[in-house]
Amino acid sequence: MASEQPPPRETAKTIPSASVVEPAGYGIPEASAWQALSRGEANKDQQLLAVRWLLEGPCGLHDLQYRPGEAGRRDTDFACGKRYVGQQVVKLMKINIAALQQRKRT
């Protein structure tokens, strides 16, 4: 009996593009998740997919920002800006709400 192996993962989702300005990949699940989110109707899985896609795709949160060479300076700056947005989203996802409320009172 042959052992069953999981299907191979899609390369487009696991290997980011080298171009910092190329739009993030997406498909029907991501588009559906964002549309449901914008209507206030996204279920838990759609919410998680939308956030993960935003942080890992357009924001490039886990990607190296540095781009080599003379022409790479602008691409590095652009990649840093994208990552900054992702860092701000993660900050709000993890911030201590009680500490914010305390700071507001003082």
Query: What is the span of the domain harbouring residue 58?
Result: 25-105
Report the pLDDT averaged over residues 83-95.
Answer: 97
Domain assignment of residue 9, yes or no = no
Domain assignment of residue 66, yes or no = yes
Contact call for residues 43 and 77 (beta carbons, < 8 A): no
Domain assignment of residue 52, yes or no = yes
Domain assignment of residue 10, yes or no = no
Distance CA 16, CA 35 (A): 24
Q: How many CA atoms lie within 13 A of 65 on its CB side?
A: 14
pLDDT per residue over 6-62, tens digit each? 544 444 455 656 788 999 999 999 999 999 999 999 999 999 999 999 999 999 999
C-alpha closest to that of 61 among 47, 46, 82: 82
Domain assignment of residue 89, yes or no = yes
Work out how many domains the chain is built from and give that number: 1
Domain assignment of residue 98, yes or no = yes
3-state helix, strand, coil in the chain (%, to 5): 55, 0, 45
Domain assignment of residue 53, yes or no = yes
Report the pLDDT averaged over residues 59-82.
Answer: 92
Residue 4 has a pLDDT of: 60
Name the most confidently modeled range: 16-30, 61-75, 82-96: 82-96
Domain assignment of residue 45, yes or no = yes
In this prediction the pTM is 0.77
